[in-house]
Structure 1
Amino acid sequence: MKFGVVVFPGSNCDADCLHAVKTVTGQPAEYIWHKSGSVEGFDCIILPGGFSYGDYLRCGAVARFSPVMTPVIEFAKKGGLVIGICNGFQVLTEAGLLPGALHRNKELQFLCHDVFLRVENASLPFTCTAREGEVIKVPIAHGEGNYFADAETLQQLEENKQVVFRYCDAQGEVTPEVNPNGSANHIAGICNQQGNVLGMMPHPERCAEKDLGNTDGQLIFKSLLDFWQRRCG
């Protein structure tokens, strides 16, 4: 399984993502420059965190028009696996691959600390080694992670089980106090209807090995590899 990590001007988690997937999965991974016109040869594309193009206009708004996004969108529409982390999640919403938008955090402050997430859908390529309701601890680092969508879209996300991760406490309880940024329905990550595109604000690549003191982020990368190995027999 070959991973591609897109590098935009202003990306700052690209090296982390590349290292994480190589360390956790033992699979090949390469950078994809934002001016590239092709993603051929890759099995999973990662849009990493950071401040693509300085977050001018809106987070992800300029990156959405990078040359590389044309083949990424085509790749996703054909069923290719795509994961957007933090700024990558913002790019995916701007590109129309995921519904909704990311707004400024409710307290208008940048947040950088660990949060607990409850796995809401364990049947996806990104979560297939988890169990529904499992709680993991993953760090956040964002100023605009407040997920918003209109009432109809939120209802569809819930009914279609497109909410993948939800902010919770260590016991899996969802309360207003554990929602760090004001996200609607405590949403921390969603997928598209087909289940092959995931966007999440927390950073699994920052908690994917023992040296970092937390390996909960391995769940996402190990799930992708497990899914791929089963798909390929």
Structure 2
Amino acid sequence: MQNPNEDTEWNDALRKHGILPKKEKPAPLPEEVDQTEVVNNYEDMTLEELDEFEDEEDERVMQMYREKRIAEMKALQMKSNYGDVREISAIDYVQEVNKAGDGIWVVLHLYKQGIPLCSLLNQYLSRLAAKFPTVKFLKSISTTCIPNYPDKNVPTIFIYKDGEMAAQWIGPLSLGGMNLKQDMLEWRLSKLGVVTSTLEEDPTPKVHDVMTSSIRSSYQTSKRKDESTDDEEY
């Protein structure tokens, strides 16, 4: 049996001949209310009534804002349950990394005892974990987490979100070696969206290209000599 409330040509014809009742228009949504009517209501108010209405409206808006902020703070507190670097093993990998939770960033450091850069990274990550408690910072001895993991690949940093790898930095060169500073690591994490940093520019020192500078300097010296020679000829 055909639904009499459907918008079909057949039902329209039946409504036209009075066989089906006309469809009632749905009540307008709040945002569809005629603004002219609202303005006219304001025009009928006295100044005292307008002031009272504005106070009530301000209070309502402020209450909505407070409720929104409270909800945001609660959501942040639920996520801010890390704050340190946790040690894991291969058994913990899936649960701690792949199943960390929706929207959770995971930074995993594969390290080995006795390697200076690994020790330095563990210090930096401990400080960053306290600074950004919504990020899950983890560490694991490389061969404990991944059997036979090559020593040349440590330190390694894996970065995950929603169970998927977002970035990987493998080996000392990928991290800048012992020249790496904490703010440089923070900047790299912020560029990926892992942390929200207050750093305004990349703190990594600019590499000075000696060869390019030498060639440029020689070219400028030669150019000045040529210009000087031309002036003497005249």
- Would the TM-score normalized by the shorter structure come out above 0.5? no
Greater helix proportion: 2
Which structure is larger by alpha-carbon Rg, 1 or 2? Answer: 2
TM-score by length of 2: 0.22
Greater strand proportion: 1
Kindly indicate whether structure 1 or structure 2 has the higher relative contact order, using CA contacts under 8 Å at least 6 residues apart. Answer: 1
